Amino acid sequence: MACTAEISEKYDVLRRELEKKGIDIAEVKRKIENFEVEVPSWVFGAFGGGRFSGYTPPGAARNIFEKLDDAALVNRLTGATPRVSIHVGWDDPDEAPFEEIQVESFRKLRDYARRLGLDIGAVNPTYFLEGTQFGSLSANDPETRRRLIEHTLISAEIAAKYATGLITLWFPDGSLYPGQVDMRTAERNMKSSLKEIYQRMPSSVRMLIEYKLFEPGTYHTVISDYCVASDLARHLGERAGVLIDLGHHAHGVNVEHIVARLIESGMPGGIHFNSRYAADDDHAVEPNMQLFRVFHELVTGGVIGNADPRRDWAYMIDQCSALENRIQAVLHSVDSLMISYAKALIVNEEVLHKYQRKNEIMLANRVLLDAFLTDVRPLIQMVRMEKGLPLDPVNAYVKSGYQEKIEKEREQSGIDLNLT
């Protein structure tokens, strides 16, 4: 009772503070209650250690069903992650060889997810397996392109039948040295392959094209920035758009400006959330100033929480733990996203626009800073308390005993899925 009273008191203090600025905390609270973000299956899997070493973390999921078990726990603790993004090449329920993956196999995956209160979200074709070291859809070898086109179409059919109808495409295609590939030929191959996929995939399926400045190609990447990705999407049609991974940019790039440009153009979009240190894009999300500014563009652009699915963007966490506990890291990311979203919702837009019209540079900037520096945790805690959720999901996980349970169980070989 004391905890409930303390939260209510802090929430009331925040409510009065926001009321002075003309902000309705009840409306902000409603939007936080409805916030959802997908979690990636691969974050729960059996690889870790970063780019230059690898190990199997204690308790790591050994197959897609155990990944879904872990994802279901994250959803139970946060109430905000009801969908799981999958990678077709990694997450085939039958663990069939790449060339033998069957669409119908994913029915059992969908059914298992639903038993856990989950849905399958974005479907990712897997382009970075054996045989793609010299490119996938842009490769010189027509047989490689054909193989990956068909794999993408299988992924699209899975998305249509057993997921939310969205495929997200990231390509490792690029080069290490000048002269290694003809860059124009590679782009033509990519464009031609994507056009065939777009024309043949089910009409209910949408496609988001992701870009990345570098890696694994260190000299050039075929889809290196949002301009290339948006040009490809525009060439394809209205069911294609751009996927922005926050960690896929050079230092100093104004990511929120990219978000604003894509919204203004009417381009369908999505965000892969993570934190970027140096050249690594796989860290857990932190509620920093740039993330707040990105959310502010999403809020003012009307592409988050929009009742019209044609305007609402797709939101996914994309991280992969190195040394940190992976379930704790995902919970931390969800917490950070909710905090950043709430801060963006309490920007005093009326005052901000007034200062912008008057060219009051510092006063306009301070309006954003005021929202960013506001402690919105009492609001997040009130939402969780009313939903019967833990106030601190990370701490609740540590105390749950789940980590000890999976470390013990997953040391054993085999698992009885009892899917019949």
Q: What is the pLDDT of residues 21-65, one digit of tens each?
A: 999 999 999 999 999 999 999 999 876 555 556 677 889 999 999
pTM, full prediction: 0.95
Q: Which two tokens stand for residue 104?
A: 């119908």
Q: Give domain status of residue 24, yes or no.
A: no
> Nearest-CA neighbor of 149 among 88, 196, 183?
196
Q: Give domain status of residue 360, yes or no.
A: no
**What's residue 420's pLDDT?**
34
The dihedral through the CA atoms of 197, 199, 201, 204 has a sign that is: positive
Q: Prior bond to 216 cis, omega within 30? A: yes
Q: Give domain status of residue 76, yes or no.
A: yes
**What's residue 413's pLDDT?**
46
Q: Provide the domain count of the chain.
A: 1
Q: Give domain status of residue 103, yes or no.
A: yes
Q: Which two tokens stand for residue 413?
A: 């070989």
Residue ranges in the chain whose pLDDT is less than 70: 1-2, 47-54, 278-280, 412-420
What is the domain extent for residue 243? 36-346
Q: Give domain status of residue 393, yes or no.
A: no
**What's residue 310's pLDDT?**
78
Q: What CATH number corresponds to the domain at position 249?
A: 3.20.20.150
Q: Give domain status of residue 84, yes or no.
A: yes
Q: What is the DSSP string of 152-167?
A: HHHHHHHHHHHS-SEE
Provide the CB-side half-sphere exposure for 244 (13 A, CA).
28
> What is each CA distance from 23 to 26, 224, 348, 379, 381, in whole angstroms?
9, 40, 7, 13, 19
- Report the 10 Å Cβ neighbour count for 114: 11
> What is each CA distance from 44 to 82, 87, 133, 174, in whole angstroms?
15, 12, 25, 28
CA 278 to CA 152: how far, in whole Å? 32
Q: Give domain status of residue 195, yes or no.
A: yes
CA 150 to CA 103: how far, in whole Å? 12
**What's residue 88's pLDDT?**
97
Q: Give domain status of residue 65, yes or no.
A: yes
**What's residue 281's pLDDT?**
75
**What's residue 419's pLDDT?**
39
Residues 171 and 127 sit within 8 Å (Cβ to Cβ):
yes
CA 337 to CA 37: how far, in whole Å? 9
Q: Which two tokens stand for residue 192?
A: 């031609």
